[in-house]
Amino acid sequence: MPAPRCTEDEFIRAWERLGSATLVARELRLNVRNVLERRRSIERRLGMSLPAFNSQKKGPLPVHYNLDNHPAIQKLEVEDGTVLVGSDCHYWPDIVTTAHRAFLLMCKRLKPAAVVLNGDVLDASSISRFPPIGWERRPSLIKEIEACQDRLEEIIQAAPKGAAFVWTLGNHDGRFETKLATVAPEYAKIHGVHLKDHFPRWKPAWSVWINDDVVIKHRWKNGIHAAHNNTIQSGRTMLTGHLHSLKVTPYSDYGGTRFGVDTGTMAEAYGPQFSDYTELNPVNWRSGFIVLTFRAGRLLWPEIVHVLKEGEVEFRGEIIQV
């Protein structure tokens, strides 16, 4: 087998500087396919990330996680019971939203078998790859981490003993490890550099599969018809977040009825996390979360807990003060 044209250290330095398989291949006079294979091999063996860079935006794309640190799937079996799915919390210091308070209430009232937070629990605004707008003040990363720890501990205390707690990775959550992997790859596998290290009660995953026919993950398709397209193309009931639109879209064929579900946002649609980059334009977002009920292993029609206004949510025809 011919020896590599460059050492491993030379390859890593070239990738960190150029961030592109095409550019690295050109500089090191290698085949692009070989560059990609060597990159994957180094990431796998050393437990580090060599993130690509977007040539248009000059920033790192989401990190490629080592699956030893971030399992691909968490599987749940729910014969008779409830699963609560909240999403896109973007928890912010000193803000406890109506949706979060309602989530705690439903943890106590419905006693779920599992609680899933479907990505973007952390906003991580201070380490965004996007530049600040007007030098606006953003909370420090430690303040955001502490806010998340407080809110997640409240959920654990409200849920019944024995409930499972799963956190699917969102693109904002990924900023935490992407930043470290980009500027300090030497710290790979040291405790504290992975987001999950700070939330030990929560199982990390890319996706949650319930009874093998319900899939929960942060995102897949985009656009106004994302929920519809997700369930058609996956062949499963699929719950996704990311778009903050909070809706249930049924789809029926010879196999029966399944659902495409947008899990909405647990943040306020016009909260400080979003006000600058949306320029406070109207957004087609809704605050709330999803209740899944299973009977004899079969999913019933997914239900929405929707925030009506500060301190009020609607659920099953009732207006609830929280």
Q: DSSP E strands: which ranges in the chain?
A: 53-54, 59-60, 73-76, 81-86, 114-117, 164-168, 203-205, 207-210, 214-217, 237-240, 247-253, 256-262, 288-295, 298-299, 303-309, 312-315, 318-321
Among 53-67, 109-123, 269-283, the range of highest mean pLDDT: 109-123
pTM of the model: 0.76
What are the CB-based long-range contacts (under 8 Å, 24+) for 274-277? 274/90, 276/133, 276/134, 276/136, 277/130, 277/133
**Residue pLDDT, tens place only, 184-194:** 676 666 666 67
Position 232: which residue type? Answer: I
Whose CA is closest to 160, among 202, 199, 109, 201? 109
DSSP 203: E
Number of neighbours of residue 50 by Cβ within 10 angstroms: 23
Q: Is the pLDDT assigned to residue 58 strictly greater than 60?
A: no
The string of pLDDT tens digits covering residues 143-175 is 888 999 999 999 999 999 999 999 998 887 777
